[in-house]
Amino acid sequence: MALGDRKLRQLPVRSLAPNILTVLGLCAGLTALRFALQGQFEKAIIAVIVAAVIDALDGRVARFLKGATKFGAELDSLVDFVNFGVVPVMVLYLWNLRDLGGLGWIAVLGFAVCCALRLARFNTALEAPDKPVWSSKFFVGVPAPSGAGLVILPVVLAFLGWDWIADSPFFVALYTGAIAALMISRIPTFSFKGMSVRRDMVMPILLIVGLGAAVLLSYPWGFLTALGFGYLALIPFSILRYRRYASGSEMLAAQADQDDAPVP
């Protein structure tokens, strides 16, 4: 075998590491479904969270190692659909929605379809040209991982003693539909990975993260509930911030048009 052919058949380890993480995330998501089938819903929620954490890491690992590939991007998108479009809502179905029969299944299908559309729109938006620089600070609609976290919030609330939610499958179905609508909406939501912080804020932020981790380990369900409600509360502020950026961009464009206009 020629040396050139041998090199073509070999892949650097840095290209493999992100894909390994992605596959581990898929295993975590499918394990959540197994726990739900066994009625172990606390373990199912934990497995969904683990899958979300791995999803947050694999892309960053790929960029850090310069191991991003087209194959990895396609694999990540497929795993995202399973972990965030199928598994969480199936956990919800096995926990509560199946009591509604066909109506509960409609809620499941609606959420899964909306998640697929959301991911497809996100993938095509990556290739859109001439996007303003500030647009990287926002998502269009609620991203799939956030939607998955929000849709399982009723289960977490039940763990905290909100038993009426477990006895209200119709309410849960309506809530599921609302989260699905947020995912495919045009509502701008904050993209924290596109934001930057001042250097003097690094230490306070690290301190807050450390305290948050301690609270998560001590009071996981209360922390996740606060995180979910906090995210929903941020949506109106993200809309206002987006409009401010958009109006400023339009003013700059109008000023540029005036400057380029021919002098009579």
- Residues 186-199: tens digit of each pLDDT: 999 988 776 666 77
Q: Does residue 197 form part of some domain?
A: yes
Q: Judge whether 89 and 151 are in contact, CB under 8 Å.
A: yes
Picking from 192, 169, 35, the residue whose alpha carbon sits closest to that of residue 97 is 169
Does residue 11 surpass a pLDDT of 90? no
Choice among 31-35, 133-137, 253-257 with the minimum mean pLDDT: 253-257
Q: Does residue 217 form part of some domain?
A: yes
Cα-flanking dihedrals φ and ψ of residue 140, to 5°? -95, 105
Q: Does residue 59 form part of some domain?
A: yes
Does residue 130 surpass a pLDDT of 70? no
Q: Does residue 39 form part of some domain?
A: yes
Q: Does residue 259 form part of some domain?
A: no
Q: Does residue 221 form part of some domain?
A: yes
How does DSSP classify residue 188?
E
Q: What is the CATH number of the domain that holds 85?
A: 1.20.120.1760
Domain count, the chain: 1
Q: Does residue 131 form part of some domain?
A: no
For residue 65, the enclosing domain spans: 10-119+136-254
Q: Does residue 3 form part of some domain?
A: no
- pLDDT for residue 47: 95
pLDDT in tens, 38-88: 999 999 999 999 999 998 888 777 777 776 778 888 888 899 999 999 999
